[in-house]
Every structure is written in C-alpha cells, then in structure tokens.
Amino acid sequence: MTQLSLTPAVALDAFDLAILDILQRDNTTSQREIAQAVHLSAPAVQRRIRRLRESGVIRNEVAVLDASRLGRPLILTVEVHLHDEHPLRTAGMRARIMAEPAIQQCYGITGEADYLLVITASSMAEYEALTERLFGGDDNIRRYRTSVALTCLKMGLHVPLT
C-alpha cells in the first residue's frame, strides 16, 4: 500500500505544470505536440518528463478502463473495522488486499473505520465470495460495512495543478 506522506512537494515550474496538465488529460500525446503546446523543444520536454518520472511526480502511466463495459458493473465501497491496528495483526489482511485485482483502491483512514476499499465486481455473488476470501477466518476483522454505488457522478485521478 502506498503511504501518504508529508514529504515536501517537488519544485515545479510553469513548464512542468503545463506538461503535467497535458499528460493527465492524455498521456499518449507525443512529446513533439507537448513541446509545441508549452513552447519548449522536444528534447527539453523529454528531459522534463524523465525527471518527473524519476522524482515520482509521475507515478504510473496506464489506460483507464470502463469496468461496466467489461462486465463489472458493480462499484462497492467497503469500510473495514479492526480490533487491533498493529502491523503484525493486519499483515495478512493487507497482503490479501494487495493481491486482489478487484480492489481498485485501498486507504488506511481515520475515524470509526480503519480501512476504506473501492471494489469492482461483476455480481453480488462475486462480491460475497471476495469478502469471504478477504475477511473470512480473520479474527482481527471486527466488521465491515458495504455501500453499493448507484450512479457515478465523477471518477478520475486528475490532480489539480493550481
């Protein structure tokens, strides 16, 4: 699981922000097109993108798929409540979560629950089998609460750059 950190932000200038804005909208944009849009040379854009990758500002470059068009219409959020948050007690659950492809996101959270999961499933039967694999037999799971998304108003990972 990626830890949220309070590490200082990477120093970015207006060119970096413009490049990131283009890549967030469409990371298949050619470096030549980016260079024209931000008024830099293609080699300068290439160097900046490499630096942004190496510094971790660009974490990954992926295709965003429509789960419902792939037979996975259900989006569920699951609040997981534990008895004990000690890393030794949660290691098994965290490993199962990391290994489960149907879990799109997982956050360790504050408040009443300890973890929040975002899951996609093809059916409730599939979801029920998944929760049995994740939580069944784990005596550290106090309870979990599921909410089913009825509509999607917004979905994305776009980070505001201003």
Q: What is the pTM of this model?
A: 0.84
Decide: 100 and 134 in contact? Cβ < 8 Å: yes
Is the pLDDT confidence value at 1 over 60?
no
CATH topology of domain 14-54: Arc Repressor Mutant, subunit A (1.10.10)
Is the pLDDT confidence value at 81 over 60?
yes
CA 103, distance to chain mean position in Å, is 10
CATH class of 67-148: alpha beta
Q: What is the mean pLDDT of residues 9-25?
A: 94
Please state, as a whole number, how many other Cβ atoms lie within 10 Å of the Cβ of residue 104. 14
Q: What is the mean pLDDT of residues 76-81?
A: 98
**Domain residue extents for the chain:** 14-54, 67-148
In the block, which residue shows the tokens 């007690």?
A: 89
Q: Which helix (H) or strand (E) holds 117?
A: strand 115-121
The tally of CA atoms less than 13 A away on the side-chain side of residue 13 is 7
Decide: 76 and 127 in contact? Cβ < 8 Å: yes
pLDDT tens digits for 82-141? Answer: 999 999 999 999 999 999 999 999 999 999 999 999 999 999 999 999 999 999 999 999
pLDDT tens digits for 18-76? Answer: 999 999 999 999 999 999 999 999 999 999 999 999 999 999 999 989 999 999 999 99
